[in-house]
Chains A and B, each alone.
Chain A
């Protein structure tokens, strides 16, 4: 008996069978957490899309459980954070144990004002369910369940998909194709793109159990736990009294044997003790990999989420990275589709998100190398770090049980403009959630809630010049004192803003440029780098 009843979404037979369907502007292949986020973001920007998914339900098993603050901020912009917050379990702290002692604890919440915690734990099926329910309300999203993509071709003007349904197959042409079809991406395979990286020689048994257990919701990571033979173990609380247990088994194991119920139960018993009753909800055996394709844009085909890159789960950077892909791509594609920007803007998606994926791969590779040392000598060093960590603070900084997902700071983005203010939050960084008293709508009590639709220019103090831009892309000007207030001065301090200073914010809530005193020409020039117009 599971705690979750899998929904089954309505399948609709294709309008045409054995023929070509009307051309779509944007098709998203894959209605997982990344494809659905992409669809919602496009719809919010007025761009219609078709979503094709091979089945008619949500993620099989809980899979991703840790959703980071940045994902919640993005989903908040899309009107879907509230049910996730309500269902999810909030946590900010991680505790790391070695043998029978706690080595140290860390707190991920660096902004006391944030309306969101550093993380919530929520089963992936809930995340997808809430995204689907929101998408079902959007007239601009055409959700097609049990429409499996079996083949495709693409050229400089679009792509054509071979789609199979229970009622037969059809051809779906489109101008833009988003490959969000996960780690075994059909689109990636059809295009013959190599997906290369590193495989870690280790097995991890993941078990979700239901049990009544008190105690704070924190991430617990155990190196060489005293109760069992596992090299490491991880424990996380999810909603509905479901707990995620993750056991590191080693490389030379008999997979079938390890997955047998009695062996799984024995491991769980050793970890949680003999008395607490539990039910096993889900189990799965993994080896982990970190890999990526080389480019995320291929003319009219764009790769997002696991179809583009895969990381090991230590750090929760897979799903969270994918959601940031969607956040980055949706506004750009919407501008290109409506003719406001040249397609070259999409190359900045590739540059920015490949940079972010490299960072995610680097971090999760390092963590997995620490957890799964490749050689005997690296194991000796790893154990030396753990042995020293108890008495020597420096060694705790070397202990790596996963560097958890943080938003990408796109500091070397080709879109970044000048940084005259040189504040702590500069071009490429996401806007912090700082309080803005005097905001008009109830949901906009934080700076981040004021931005996220179009481009916004935040202006502090007096402006010598009326800032009007005449290009294809509009900019909303928000003045401190008039449109929002900064009573504590924290916002000005974050950007290093002085009297007359201004900060240009992108539709994905990242800073693009800052000026001491901008002119209309400065602003037009910055926006021309987005649209491709000549300023």
Chain B
């Protein structure tokens, strides 16, 4: 147990990864203290998996520094590997082995069978809700199990050796909402016990559960912070949810007003973010004047999705406008 007690469990400082001339990760920095859930977000190809692979010692960084569980990843990648749990983006268990055989195999790789109290497989299965219940017959091969079950099995295999740091790369992809919810309860459990969890996801509703989120775009960090702070920073005024007869004219009318910072359609409703100091009465009179019909207006909490859409559209404009004018994005935090 060497010096992993204090300091962040995961520390990335200016990480860079290039594939040929293409820079997949471009100066990414963040830290995750023990007991926190850190969400790494971003569109396909943003560089999330590449960043995780560098932190896991699977890819050598071309620049920057990384410390995981108190160990310098560049200097001792193997040391890092024995202290982390990693669920890769691809579903990575052996489909032609049974769950138990998979667990036994991975357990033997981590020497998890030895010193600890009790059977690590039984413990990990219990921890991830795989033991008892469900009545899974022993002989079923992993590939014949449901996606939700396999995903919890992958998690079980990643925690056999009781890692203090967990990297979960899109663990909930392709899993139904109930199973996702259940999975996040497990993640909470690990964080409460003091593990640092780095998780990537494309579901922004999930990201709300994170202690801190970071948005990547083209290999760089464009926004970072607690979900609540981020939303407040993006929407200093109130956000309204508007339900009205004809959405089109209403949206147009809203977008014409300078005090409406953002107006977007969400399903059958409109979300409108107002500048600070403006209220719903201004909106109702505007809509009445525009002839959009009877409008139901209520104040709502902005979602992370609102915030990120706003950030992405504004940084997109910025990078289009100020091409090559000094460092951008990286300083967003």
Q: Are A and B physically bound partners?
A: no
Q: Which residues of A contact B (CB under 8 A)?
A: none
Q: Which residues of B contact A (CB under 8 A)?
A: none
